[in-house]
Structure 1
Amino acid sequence: MGITGASGSLYAYTLIRTLHQLNIETHLIVTEMGEKVMQFECGVSMENLKEYATIHSNKNLFASIASGSYLTDGMVIVPCSMNTLGAIANGVGDTLLSRAASVILKERRDFIIVPREAPFNLIHLKNMTSLAEAGACIMPASPGFYHKPTEIWELASFMVAKVLDMLDIDHQILERWGEHS
């Protein structure tokens, strides 16, 4: 899992806690700006995240997850800045986050990018198209409202449920359309 400096850290924090609750082994890479935005938006530090995941330095290109021989089920970058998205789309692998993403793409593993930007410009769209053509799932942070959320955490949980569905991870986070309590 990657966290970048785009706004939307609540999505990342909700996902990482949920993966921990579901006993899913999680490796985490957080960019420098990702750390700052997580602290600013959620009041959560890297120290707080240590209980939920194995944390790798974004500078450590020797980390296990930088190699295709290290087996993973997939990768999610949430939120994903346009800077990181552009680097990955253009094959730049100078950080662990972009290198790990490149590995996920070349190994054809599940790769979900949750951009939190609006509006998209043509460069953003072209980069997203390149990644989609390479096998990534582009999932903008656009929660639905048919479950009638009344609190912000319900919006974050909706997006987390969508990510988990794409990774084929069973969960009971929210009631699905057509299901009634």
Structure 2
Amino acid sequence: MIIAISGASGAVYGIRALELLRSVPGIESHLIITPSGGRTIREETDMTPAQVQELADQVYSPRDIGASVASGSFRTLGMLVAPCSIKTLSGIANSFDSELTVRAADVCLKERRKVVLLLRETPFHAGHIDLMAQATRNGAIIMPPVPAFYHRPKSVAEIVDQTVRRALDLFDIDLQGTKRWQGGLAAT
């Protein structure tokens, strides 16, 4: 499973995905942190990029477009970009493979593997919406980390956790403890 952390706010989403994947037998995590992603990790968390890298099974330089994850012959479950910046979305939507995050996503899409983009920007202008539509036409799944509240979160960490668990659901990774909607009584 490829995890990329780009420079948008929300590095905690990628970090939490790496933490959760460590508990799943048989899944290796392959991590790419963009330069802006590294800065965001330092700004928003108490971790360094090196500490985040320790959570992954394999780490790649964002400039290494010859890395194994840049080839369709390297089999993966797909790719989660968490968070996904507009710059990264633009590269993926336009197949502008100048760096490894975009190249790995492009490879996953051409191989018909899932690519989930936790797009972190708000509000959107028409150009952002066009990019989301193009990425979706290319096969990506756009998943802005919009929080759910049916599980009655008591902290930001619980909101992040639920969002990341739902993103990993899209790869058919069923994590113990994921809270799911159970339905309720309709108001009369």
For the aligned pair, the TM-score class normalised by the smaller chain equals over 0.9
Task: Identify the residue that residue 114 of structure 1 maps to in structure 2.
Answer: 118
Runs of at least 5 residues in structure 1 that lack an aligned partner in the other structure: none
Q: 2:5 pairs with 3, 6, 9, which one?
A: 3
Runs of at least 5 residues in structure 2 that lack an aligned partner in the other structure: none
Residue identity opposite 1:87 in structure 2: G
> Which of 40-49 and 162-171 deviates more?
40-49
Tell me the alpha carbon deviations over residues 107-163 of structure 1, each in whole angstroms, 9 at most, x when there is no partner.
010110010110111111111101111111100010101111111110001111111
For 2:177 and 2:78, the matched residues in 1 are separated by 20
Aligned partner of residue 22 in structure 2, secondary structure: helix
Task: Identify the residue that residue 24 of structure 2 maps to in structure 1.
Answer: 22
Alignment of structure 1 residues 6-85 onto 2, 5 Å = 6-23=8-25, 24-53=27-56, 54-85=58-89
Runs of 4+ in 1 over 2 A off after TM superposition: none
For 2:44 and 2:112, the matched residues in 1 are separated by 33
Q: Normalising to structure 1: TM-score of the pair?
A: 0.95
For 1:129 and 1:30, the matched residues in 2 are separated by 25
For 1:19 and 1:39, the matched residues in 2 are separated by 22
Residue identity opposite 1:176 in structure 2: R
CA contact (8 A) 2:18 2:55 kept: yes
For 2:98 and 2:144, the matched residues in 1 are separated by 25
Q: Normalising to structure 2: TM-score of the pair?
A: 0.92
For 1:178 and 1:161, the matched residues in 2 are separated by 16
> Is 2:124 aligned against 1:126?
no
Task: Identify the residue that residue 99 of structure 2 maps to in structure 1.
Answer: 95
Task: Identify the residue that residue 171 of structure 1 maps to in structure 2.
Answer: 175
Tell me by how many angstroms 1:179 deviates. 8.0
How many pairs are equivalent? 180
Tell me the alpha carbon deviations over residues 39-64 of structure 1, each in whole angstroms, 9 at most, x when there is no partner.
11112112212332111000111100
- Give the percent of matched residue pairs that are identical in Structure 1 and Structure 2: 39
Report the aligned-residue RMSD: 1.4
For 1:49 and 1:29, the matched residues in 2 are separated by 10
Task: Identify the residue that residue 90 of structure 2 maps to in structure 1.
Answer: 86
Aligned partner of residue 124 in structure 1, secondary structure: helix
CA contact (8 A) 1:161 1:173 kept: no
Residue identity opposite 1:64 in structure 2: S
For 2:77 and 2:112, the matched residues in 1 are separated by 10
